[in-house]
Structure 1
Amino acid sequence: MKALLHPARVVALVFLLVILLGTGLLMLPIAHAEGISAPWVTAFFTAVSAVCVTGLVVVDTGTYWSGFGQVVILMLFQLGGFGMMTLATLLGLMVNRSFRLRTKMVAQQESRTLAIGDVGSVAKLVLVVTLGMELLITLLLTVRLHLAYDLPLTEAAWSGLFHAISAFNNAGFSIHPDSLMRYASDALILLPVMTAIVIGGIGFPVLHDLRNRLRDPRHWSLHTKLTLSGTAVLLLCGFVGLLLSEWSNAATLGPMSVGDKVLSAAFASVSARTAGFNSIDIGALTHESWALHYLLMFVGGGSAGTAGGVKVGTVAILLLMVIAEIRGRGDTEAFGRRICAAAQRQAITVLVLGSAMVVIGTLFILRTTDIATDKVIFEVVSAFGTVGLSTGITADLPESSQLMLTLLMYVGRVGIVTLAVSLAMGERRMPYRYPEEHPIVG
């Protein structure tokens, strides 16, 4: 019983329970636009995609699901992005200000805070930032849609609310069949969405650190520095790479004005980091752009945010390890700090297990379909990174391949390390160590 209550296992089980609950709700006739019961695979896939804030869909969200069904989907990706354990922590704060140690440990497993004593503070920040950003983006989108596109106020408000919450949670769900392509030249729509994506995906520990030390960057934690610098590099490289690759592509940026090209390339770079919205046709991108998306989607965003992927901090640590090895340094260092050996082992573990999941998923789907390999890789990486971008093959995949994508989404959201720990029998410290030897490498 004690092993079952391990914080990592609680996180994994709660996400699974919410997925099953969402599946049941989406199978109700009231959730379908035509008043019939949706097939269980369709309902299950949609629930997993929503809870895991991915955005991959096998049916059009705006026409297949009724208003009730769309509300259920919205609630699922709100819960998934907000974090099951963070929500549990907030409920505990409302009832009783004092936590038991295990409750704090459970919340810490989800929020990735650096100290158990920070859980309450981070949980409050999650609530304030989430509601504040979602309300602000909803207001901006509603006003723009009502005034510029002549949508009735209620319709504009619903569209604004749905897309604002989806953007902040990096969910990628849209009630439009073309995602946000109809707004490709509208900066007043895309810029608020981009802002919500970045803030939601940067990670709450970073926001917590910035709130406390905004005017004193020298005292930011190493995690904050690595995340912010890594995010800036990825966004810039993604923007430049996509702009160059798609500049003359007649099916994407080619026909646009210079300003619209810059806007769409910037939006694509931001969205590729696990948001899942698109303002240009993903299926029409060049092969170079697809390859760039592989990298951006696999890396993802910041730890303990609404983004997926192996995380910016993980890749930053691995790159620093390579640099230290090339320079012949015994320690891996950054910003005047030494990175502990445990963090380095965790980074390697996340990369290896994440890569293994992508390879396994790709091989499985290739065996069950004759779709081009590059499109399958794109779909698999998108699912594992909980991105939601697609070249348009999701609905055409056989059910077995769609179920494989749900597994990838679940693992990508819960986290490789969290899932591995939740399945492990428990930590053991060996009372002995073997003699050390150095095998030949390379």
Structure 2
Amino acid sequence: MSTSDRVRTGARTSDAPLTLDEAPPRTLGLGESLGLWANLGVSLLLPVAAVFVVLPGRPLWVTLAAVVVGAVVGSLLLGAVAAAGARESVPGMVLLRGLLGRRTSWLPTAFNLVQCIGWATFEIVVIAEAAARVLDAPRWPFVLAAGVLATAMALRPLGVVRLLARYAVWAALAAVAYLFVQVLAEPLPPLEDGGATSFWTAADIVIALPVSWLPLAADYTRHARSARAAGVGSAVGYGLATVVMFALGVLALAAYGSSGLDVIGALLAVPLGAVAVLVLVSVELDEAFANLYSTAVSAQNVVGRLDRRVLVVGVGAAATLLALTLDVVAYEPFLFLIGAVFVPLAGVLIVAYWLTPRGAWDTSDTAPARPLYLLPWAAGFVAYQLTLPTYFPGPGAGWTAWWSARQADLGIDPGNGWSASLVGLAVAVALALPLVLRGRRQRAAA
């Protein structure tokens, strides 16, 4: 199908295309982009993750400062990738063809499939757990209901995006505003328990949330009317929501969490908190749907003519089954591992894309392999692990032990307190830059 045919086909399409052969409609303006990304950021997973952000024994403002710093870093990376997806009008994994080539881009695609299914599963678990606690009922019926509803939403994603931007975001903001008013009316003593060991490890947890959307961002911003609408909408919308939701979790723990680090329990202790939490539970479905949809779109990078509706149904069923057995204790290492994989990749992609002349970014089926760009990505991942090895309990403890031994070999203090995200990002960018500049010189000489 020619480019002109794809554009005409996309113009006639009222929703996201079913295959990569169809061009995406460009219907999302700045307001809709802001609404979409703000709504995606209003998630119960963020205040739940606040447990791992708290710096025990430190003033609350130090933890909140780490939240702001992490949100700014992560959302700027998200905005840069989102804008690139809008300019090229392709999904996230297809955008990586311009960096790595078509077949080489299957490697990050495989990682993204794993993380999308993981996030969808976590979202379903949080929805079901919160609903079960509010209504004092078994969890499994809510797992099934959330899985079915999220799957149905993913079948018509653009229609859902428009509804979220117009209505759901306002309901979510009302619930969050109410919870903030109630929490701030209580005394806020210092927290003596928490999961962060330093300011920068706290910031790394926050960075991991917007970074988790980097491989997915272009799946939605390819429908934006401009790169500006995509970049500003994603960075500002998700960044502000990240600060608000993490801050809500931290403050709720300070106000109501004296009996333990239980964020959902702390929110339920707020007067009429159950009603506000139920509103957030219903809004939470958008994150689950988004991850299911992006899993399907990512798989199309390998086989472009697969119908995304069939893929969505299969992935939705898998995430629902996983949610029935998931141990939420695995959440923290999952966040760190996402950062270790995708922060360096984001750095390489952003440097390469924005230094490449417009029109030279090849996302076609014949995009040549560029395996050299795997090196700065891999180096960034190694630097991340050497700074802060991802901790896995139980059977995965060998991974942590191996990287800890490499730290010892190199004389790196395990309690260094550095930001693994910023170290990994800096290494990846520093090694990618010479490759990008060499490519520019070769194009100029050709």
TM-score, L = length of structure 2: 0.32
Higher RCO (C-alpha 8 Å, min separation 6): 2
The structure with the largest helix share of the pair is 2
TM-score, L = length of structure 1: 0.32
